[in-house]
Amino acid sequence: MEPEDNPPMPEVSAPRAVPDHPGQIDQSGSGPVLSYLNWALLGSQGLRAGWSVLIFYYLYRFFNFAIGSVVFLLYPAIAKFDQSPITGLIGELIPLAALMAAAAIVARIEHRTILDYNLTGPRRLSQFLAGAAAGIVALSVLVGALYWGGWLHFGAVALSGVGIVQYAALWAVVFLVVGLVEEGSFRCYLQFTLTRGISFWWALAAIAVLCGDLLLRTKGNGVWGVYSIALLGLVPCLLLYLKRVENSGFWQAAWVTSTAFGFIHTSNNGENWIGIFAAAGIGFVFCVSVRLTGSAWWAIGCHAAWDWAETYFYGTADSGLTAQGHYMTASPAGAALWSGGTDGPEGSVLVIPVVLLILVALIAIYGRKKVAEHSAQALEKAAI
């Protein structure tokens, strides 16, 4: 997994030179064995991306199990999965703590900080708020289309008085944590790490492993959503490879992380293939947002706000689950292809144009700003 892109690196002392190939003898006198070992473990940017991902994965699994065991022991009610905000928050804080612990250790090994994993960049608060606004607007457009078509019916408002504010705040915190966990895993750590060390063939191998696992075990629901997004990304990524496009590692990584994002959603109850495809598709949109804004904060805000509006405000199912303490009450009507059925709005075929709408708006707004910034930088260099 030789690096293709070079993301910003923190200032650290220069590492000892690493052999370009395993046959090159280490000039320090340590011999060919250590020379081969150095070549296998280290690249021009330190620890190779593949080893970094493996270390991160097993550290995350360990911390998630260890922290989760303690929490289940102290708070056994969490095992009931009653979909209340308190239970949801505790359940999401476990992977967040595991994620931060694993990322902190890997960052230490790589001489980085956690913020280096796509969490730096300009105007982070405004990017987060803009993403949150986009998430609410996009989900409202989807719900409005379903209501207009007769595929979603609304009942009585489920909350009143102080309960409206209380549950709104609680679910906002829950989905902020959800956004931090899922975006922190996929658009922060994995996207950053794979970008610096992936090629088309390694990306294809990773996709094959994910699809092969589903094929052999038929894990979860909606597996064709994963197959579809994997095939959709195949030709563009192959063309980037064949044309030797510079810095294409980001898009190879986006193909892998988006497919993997759809993959993890197959374990949710009530999912259909459209919902899985939409999850992978919005994962790609979030990768584009990282490219255009310089960080994952827009994606975190959009992710959290979309889930909040879907679960709390409109009271629809979210990946097959309906939460306690929602403001409005909604139920699907008609064919599941249009209504989303038990999956909720994300399972409706109408989610696909909405995801495309988000992508177009993102490129129109931030792509123009990026071009303007590049033009300004070019003028400054010309003036110098």
Range with top average pLDDT, 17-31, 52-66, 315-329: 52-66
Which one, of 131, 160, 182, lies nearest residue 318 by Cα?
Answer: 182
Q: What angle do CA 339, 344, 348 make, to 5 degrees?
A: 40
The token pair that represents 54 in the structure block: 């493996």
How far apart CA 263 and CA 128 sit, in angstroms, is 26
Mean pLDDT of 133-151: 97
Structure pTM?
0.87
Other C-beta atoms within 10 Å of 337: how many? 14
**Main-chain phi, psi angles of 46, to 5 degrees:** 95, -140
Q: Using 50, 70 and 90 to split pLDDT, how confident is the model at 222? A: confident
How far apart CA 35 and CA 22 sit, in angstroms, is 6
Contacts for 337 with CB less than 8 Å, ≥ 6 apart: 274, 348, 349
How far apart CA 299 and CA 187 sit, in angstroms, is 8
Helices (H), the chain: 32-41, 49-74, 85-109, 124-148, 162-183, 191-195, 200-217, 223-242, 249-264, 273-293, 297-308, 336-339, 351-362, 368-383
Q: Answer with the residue of higher pLDDT: 316 or 384.
A: 316
How far apart CA 175 and CA 309 sit, in angstroms, is 10
> Per residue in 349-377, pLDDT tens?
999 999 999 999 999 999 876 654 544 44
> Per residue in 293-324, pLDDT tens?
999 999 999 999 999 999 999 999 887 778 88
The token pair that represents 281 in the structure block: 């598709």
Strand partners, 152: 332
For residue 119, what pLDDT is reported? 96
> Rounded to whole angstroms, what are the CA distances from 159 to 45, 163, 213, 353?
54, 6, 43, 32
Mean pLDDT of 342-348: 92
Which one, of 356, 362, 376, lies nearest residue 141 by Cα?
Answer: 356
Supply the DSSP string of 309-348, one letter for each residue. Answer: IIIIIS---BTTB--SS-SS-EEE-S-HHHH-GGG-GGGS
Q: Answer with the residue of higher pLDDT: 257 or 75.
A: 257
Residue 333's identity, in one-letter code, is A
Domains in the chain: boundaries: 24-116, 122-383
For residue 207, what pLDDT is reported? 97
The token pair that represents 222 in the structure block: 């909606």
